[in-house]
Structures are given as C-alpha cells and as structure tokens.
A and B are shown apart, each in its own frame.
Chain A
Amino acid sequence: MALHAWGRLPNPHNANTVRLHDRHADLPNVTLPWLAHGCGRSYGDVCLNRRGSLLHTINLDHFIDFNPATGILRAEAGVTLRAILALVVPHGWFLAVTPGTRDVTLGGAIANDVHGKNHHVAGSFGHHVRQLEILRSTGERLRCHAQQHAELLRATIGGLGLTGLITWAEIALIPIANPFMTVETTRFGHIDNFWALNAQAETCWPYTVAWIDCLAQGKRQGRGVFMTAAHAATQENLPDWREKPRNIPFDPPVSLVNSLSLRTFNALYWHKARSGTSLQHHVPYFYPLDAISRWNRIYGSAGFYQYQCVLPPDAMCAGTTSLLNRIARSGQGSFLAVLKTFGNHPPPGMLSFPRPGATLALDFPNHGQRTLALFTELDAIVRDAGGAIYPAKDARMPASLFKSAFPQWETFSQWMDPAFSSDFWLRVNS
C-alpha cells in the first residue's frame, strides 16, 4: 500500500511499507533506512522515506492508562488525537495543545512538536509530554523524561521521527467544564489593525488566531477575521451538537482552487463573518476542515504546498506585510491564510519550530516552477527577518535556510538513530 503526505505532490512511491502491530515487538527486518509514518498529515516529505521503509504506526493504537482524576494519559504512539478526545472530553479533559486537525497520531504530534492557537499561553505539544519510550535500531528501549535521557527527549520532541521509533508517550491534559468554546469574532479591515487587536486579546484569551484574505490589496491588504476563544465555563442549557462527516469522494483531474474560486471564497468569507460572541462546540472551532475528510483532494492530481513560516517579533509586522505583498502580486494564494503569534516559551525540542514572533501559513496549489519561484522570493523575506520555515509543512526549503533557522541541527544529528532517515532529512542535508 502506498502511503502519501498530505500535500499529495507527485513523487515516487515508497518501495516498502510495513505495518506495526505490537509495541513490545522488535523493529521489523526491512530495508533500511526506516521512518515511522502515522496518518500522513504532514504536508511535505518529513513523513516520506523513498529510499527505505515506512513503519506504519496506525495500528499501535492502544491506550495504556488514563487517570480521570489527574488528567494524565499514556498511550501508544499511533493513537490519534481524535481517539484521545473521544476518550477524555466526556471526563472533562482536553488536549493541552491541539493542531488544526484531530487526525494525527500522538507520535506525529510529538515528532513535529505541533502547536495550536494557544501557543502564547501553553507553548507547543512537546511541553505537555511527561515521558515517552524510544525504541532504537539497536533494540534498546529508552524511557525518556526530564530526569532520564533528557537530551534524547529534547531531540525526539520535534525530532521528525529520526531518533528511533516512539512506541508510547504520556501526556498531561487540561481540565474543561464542557465540550464548548466561548468564541469572539472581530473583523478587521487591514493587516495593521491585526497587531493591536492581537496584543490586546493575548492578555485575556487562551486561544487567538486570525484568518487573512491574502488576495486583497491596497487599502484592504490583509483584511481578515480575528477569532479568540476560551473553553466555556460551567453553564446550563448547552446547545445540541452532532458531527456530520463529509468526504471529497474522488480526485478532481485539475485543481478546483484557482484565482477565481479563491477570490470569491475569500471575499465571501470576509463579508459573511460577523463580529460578536458565541458559544461553539470545540470540533467546528478547532477542526473546521475535519468535517470534510480528504479535503486535500480539491487541489487535484498535482497536489499542493503549504508555506508556513515564523518571523521574529522585531521583524514580524514589516515582514508579514512584505510576504502578503509578494503573494498578492503573484496571484497565487489560498483559502484561509492563517496568522498567529507565538509566545516566549523556551522550545521543548532541539528542532522545535515555534519561537517568539508571528507565524503565517498558506496553501498553494502546485503550479510547478511558478509556485517554487514565488517560494524563493518568500524565503528571502524569511531569511532577512531571521525567521524559519516549518518542517512539518515543507517540501522544498533549501538546506541553507534549514541550517540557519534550526541552529541546533548539528547537536540534534548526534542523537539521531543511524538506521532512521527521511526524504526531508536527506534534502536539507544535501
């Protein structure tokens, strides 16, 4: 069975895939090098390994222990965040940090040190990992926590699966009163308004994020919708809510995302948004795209890229404007450009992406050289600002940018398991 990354860029399939079923078993005797692959929700090539074998972890999906009194959960690495939420939300617990989809594995969330809309208060996923087990190619099983193998733990969090196989992990959850969110929505007409709104909101809301219409130019440049939220307090009369899953049932031959559909969608989205406060279930709030499984198919057979970068605080305002200028001028761009600021937490991993500043994320349909040329221009802005690109989303950043943005890469490489590699790692070390 061929496994893909979420961006579905055309690439040669993996020669070899083996599914793991037993966390106590030895690593399988398959072609080297190895790489764990979970739900395949990273966009580019951190989850691909065409020279060797993918160790498919989705059947390492057993819970090991959950204490509803303390909110400490231990589970195998292939358990999805969806399964965790289904288990813990009825007990009044929630993930301390959640990305924008539930369909990632626990191991993947750790290996990419994913972040959420609450980075400014909670840090990234790795901050809430209490301990984990790494199975090395030597057969050693190393239990890592703050007091033991702490450096291997720092290498493994955000370590892109290169330090060995994460077999299980233990995470700390946060308490909630109910499954709902208090959400406040504010429209803003220009990117300049975002920064003030955001600075103010971060002092009183745990979750903040903005959606930007990256195609609007001039007076309306970077207009958007700012959304802040908090887990709802205890209250009576919660609304009724039921999930209605949908699917993109086929592969459209060409991308349904083009300049016309984007302009229409983005303009409609902006005009439809109404400022105000509401009570919303956490699923549509955190995971709007989970409602359409396999939404990545709308980009057609050529697939798509996501470009997500972070710019440090002193450069974020001017840098974001430059990025938006370049993108608007190119006419390429996406639904839902997402803008969010990170807080000052020291990163839990050697290769953690979140760092102080602002992060901008956009999808781009794959138009080949035209798209790659735009990225080279965007890279220059990121590089000048002293920023970084997110490996979990990346399929093309130059090796030099990786090495300058992740200065601990050399220390990290000492902790790698020599039997593990990935297409990403080969690329940024070529």
Chain B
Amino acid sequence: MNFPHRVLVFGATSAIAQATARRLLQQGCDLHLIGRNQTKLQTIIDDLKVRAAPAQKVSGEAADLDNLTDFPHLFDTATTALGSIDAVLIAHGSLPDQKACETNFSNTLAALHTNGISAIALADEAARRMLIQGYGLIAAISSVAGDRGRQSNYVYGAAKGMLNIYLQGLRNRLAPSGINVLTIKPGFVDTPMTAAFEKKGILWASADDIARGIISAMHKRRDIVYLPWFWCGIMFIIRTIPERLFKKLKL
C-alpha cells in the first residue's frame, strides 16, 4: 500500500498532532480532525484549510474522547467526510499530576481512562473497520514513560504501558490482514502538556521534530518508533537496570 491518503486524527489540538497534521497535509492527505475544544479545533481546521491545495479535504468535529460510546459515531462521520479511512492517528492524552494521583485514586482512574482505555477503544474501533476494508494503518502516540514504572510518573506510565501491550497484541493479530499498527514513543517534547517543566538541554525535542519522525515511520511502515531515535538507546538502558537497583533510584 502507498502512503495513506485519508487520515483521521484524534486529539488534533495537541501540539504533536497539530504539527503532524500540517506535515500530512504537505504529503497530500485529506484530514478529519477530532479535538475536545471546539474553538481550538476550528482554529486548526481554518489554518489547515488555508495551507491545503484546492482539492484537499479538511474537516473535523469536537468531541470528548473520555466518552467511549461516541466512537462509532465519530468514525461514521469521518468516513462520510473522507470517503474512507486509510489511517488513524491517536494522539490525545493528558499528563496527570502524579502526586494528586497518589493522594486521590479517582485521579489515577481518570488518567488511566484518558491515556489508556480511551486510546485502546479507538484502536479497537479502527481495527474493526480496517479489517472490513482489508487495509489500513493505526498509529498511536504512546510514550517512553510506558517502558518502565518510575516513582515520578508511573500512573501515566501505566496507562501508556497498557497501550503499548495492547498495540503489540493488535499488531500481532492484524499482521496477516495487512493492517499496520504503529506505536510512537516520544521522549521529552516541548508542548503545552509539559508546560510545567524547565525545558532545557538536548533531550527536549519540538513537536515538529516528532511529527517529522511520525511521517517517516508511517512511510517505512515501522512497528515501534522512539522519537527522537536516541530514546531507543536511553530506554534500553533504563529497561535493563536490575529492579533491585532501579527501585533505589530517584527517577
């Protein structure tokens, strides 16, 4: 299959999704965007429409992706707008306050729901539909945080870890059907989601750096990508530290 032409983006107002949508548009894609905030979403749709070639379609709909029951409807609207869906990019998420999760479990539950369950439900719905059409690409933005639990960020990590395992299984199941499943694991990205951090040093990447990596991974039909690439090495080291030692580290 060629590069997907019609792409459905969830969490379109996130910085990485926005940068990726601009690059998908440059690749000639038609886009349908789902975002929570109606005005922000409209701003992004207007921007993409200005950048689009006359024949390119850009549409969208505001939705809260915590409401799993809406998903079939969202896919139906997208299918009507685009004609069919060649690829789905699942990019929504929110970084929970780890300390707030430790004091009140309802915060943990909400974070697991938004970053884990909701993304899984979208991948599930996409897989159902792509199995019927017989092709497709499901790309989901996970995180390096899902590779190992650390005291500073393990609720978010658990949600992303759950997503990673789910996508791995889904990839395994869909491989014979020619449907690609791409797990994207960005490291530190300078976005509104990470506004509270001091963004200094070479480990921090821009949303557009990540977007470039996503497009390239989609072209190459990759399974799992670390973005930027050096996180692959960093996370290899993080994963191989023996637990006996790891539990004493302040990470």
Contacts and interface: CB of A to CB of B under 8 A. Distances in A.
A22 B195 CA distance: 14
A62 B39 contact: no
Interface in B216-250: none
B248 to A, nearest CB: 32
Interface residues of A, number: 13
A65 interface: yes
26 contacts: A1-B198, A1-B199, A1-B200, A21-B40, A21-B192, A22-B37, A22-B39, A22-B40, A23-B43, A24-B39, A24-B40, A24-B43, A62-B43, A62-B44, A62-B47, A63-B46, A63-B50, A63-B51, A64-B46, A64-B47, A64-B50, A65-B46, A65-B50, A66-B50, A87-B50, A87-B51
Q: Which of B44, B50, B51, B199 counts the most A-chain CB atoms under 10 A from its CB? A: B50
| Interface hub of A24, A62, A65 (most chain B Cβ within 10 A) | A62
Contacts of A63: 46-47, 50-51
Contacts of B198: 1
Contacts of A19: 192, 195
Interface of B: 15, 37, 39-40, 43-44, 46-47, 50-51, 192, 195, 198-200
Instruction: Pick from A19, A21, A64, A66 the residue with the most CB of B within 10 Å.
Output: A21
B199 A22 contact: no
Nearest to A62: B47
A213 to B, nearest CB: 40
Nearest to B37: A22
Contacts of B37: 22
Contacts of A24: 39-40, 43
A19 B194 CA distance: 12
Interface of A: 1, 19, 21-24, 59, 62-66, 87
A19 B206 CA distance: 14
A322 B51 CA distance: 50
Nearest to A21: B192
A323 to B, nearest CB: 41
Max chain A Cβ within 10 angstroms of own Cβ: one of B37, B43, B46, B192: B43
Contacts of B195: 19
A166 B218 CA distance: 38
Nearest to B46: A64
A19 B195 CA distance: 8
A43 B98 CA distance: 42
A59 B200 CA distance: 18
Contacts of A87: 50-51
A131 B202 CA distance: 40
Nearest to A79: B47
A98 to B, nearest CB: 20
Given A22-B40, A66-B50, A87-B50, 6 more contacts: A1-B198, A21-B40, A59-B15, A64-B47, A64-B50, A65-B46
A59 B15 CA distance: 9
Contacts of B50: 63-66, 87
A303 to B, nearest CB: 20
B110 to A, nearest CB: 22
B46 to A, nearest CB: 6
Given A1-B200, A87-B51, A62 B192 contact: no
A409 to B, nearest CB: 36
A173 B199 CA distance: 37
Nearest to A73: B50
A65 B46 CA distance: 7
Nearest to B190: A1
A62 B58 CA distance: 15
Nearest to B53: A90
Nearest to A74: B50
Contacts of A1: 198-200
